[in-house]
Amino acid sequence: MELMDVIKRRRSIRNYDPGNIPKEKLDRVLMAGLLSPSGRNIKPWEFIVVEDRSALANLAEARTGNADMLKQASCAIVVVGNQELTDTWVEDCSLAMLNMHMMADYLGLGSCWIQCRMRYAKDGRTSEEYIREMLKIPENYRLEAILSLGLISSHPRPHTEAHARVDKIHRETF
């Protein structure tokens, strides 16, 4: 598939079929994250792979709003960044999230970005406090986001260029 086709095809998918993600596919998703660009090539990210069903249900409690897809997901990749290494940890971890999200779609898996930075858990703590305790994350690591991952029986329609907001492009000045 051409890169533009991969970009158009990528969608957020929140409904999953039961079953495990084949190990080789999960490894490729994680590799896509590890090969992401980062400021000064510091790669401040760490990825915590969660596949235990009760842990996934507990992770769904880490966010008010739209995180219930974690209860159906086969796997979650929790992305944290070391804020002591670099002031671009948010950007770096975002790029790793996008690379993994794109690779998942390319491999026919469903995935969705679950925002966790500056968000709250259902128990009133921040999502970061909740997940830090649950997953034993050291203090110098900050929580970026969770990528939910699962098997899908059907893929939503790809994006088309007809829906692209070309008026967002400015030339020479705003």
Ligand X SMILES: Cc1cc2nc3c(=O)[nH]c(=O)nc-3n(C[C@H](O)[C@H](O)[C@H](O)COP(=O)(O)O)c2cc1C
SS3 77: strand
Q: Is 163:11 a contact under the CB 8 Å cutoff?
A: no
Query: Using CB atoms within 10 A of its CB, is residue 168 exposed (0-12), middle (13-18) or buried (19+)?
Result: exposed
**Whole-number Å distance between alpha carbons of 40 and 35:** 14
What minimum distance in Å lies between the beta carbon of 115 and ligand X? 4
State which of positions 57-86 bind ligand X (CB under 6 A).
66
**Whole-number Å distance between alpha carbons of 117 and 145:** 6
Helices 89-106 and 23-34, packing angle to 10 deg: 150
What minimum distance in Å lies between the beta carbon of 112 and ligand X? 5
What minimum distance in Å lies between the beta carbon of 23 and ligand X? 26
Name the residue among 68, 142, 62, 75 with its Cα closest to residue 107.
75
Among 107, 113, 126, 135, binds ligand X (CB under 6 A): 113
Among 29, 70, 102, 114, binds ligand X (CB under 6 A): 114
What minimum distance in Å lies between the beta carbon of 4 and ligand X? 15
Q: Is 74:21 a contact under the CB 8 Å cutoff?
A: yes
Q: Which stretch binds ligand X (CB under 6 A): 31-39, 41-49, 113-121, 124-132?
A: 113-121
Q: Does 112 bind ligand X (CB under 6 A)?
A: yes
Q: Does 115 bind ligand X (CB under 6 A)?
A: yes
What minimum distance in Å lies between the beta carbon of 113 and ligand X? 4
Q: Does 12 bind ligand X (CB under 6 A)?
A: yes
Name the residue among 88, 103, 90 with its Cα closest to residue 34.
103
Q: Which stretch binds ligand X (CB under 6 A): 17-25, 39-47, 108-116, 123-131?
A: 108-116
Question: Which residues here bind ligand X, judged by CB under 6 A?
Answer: 11-12, 14, 66, 112-115
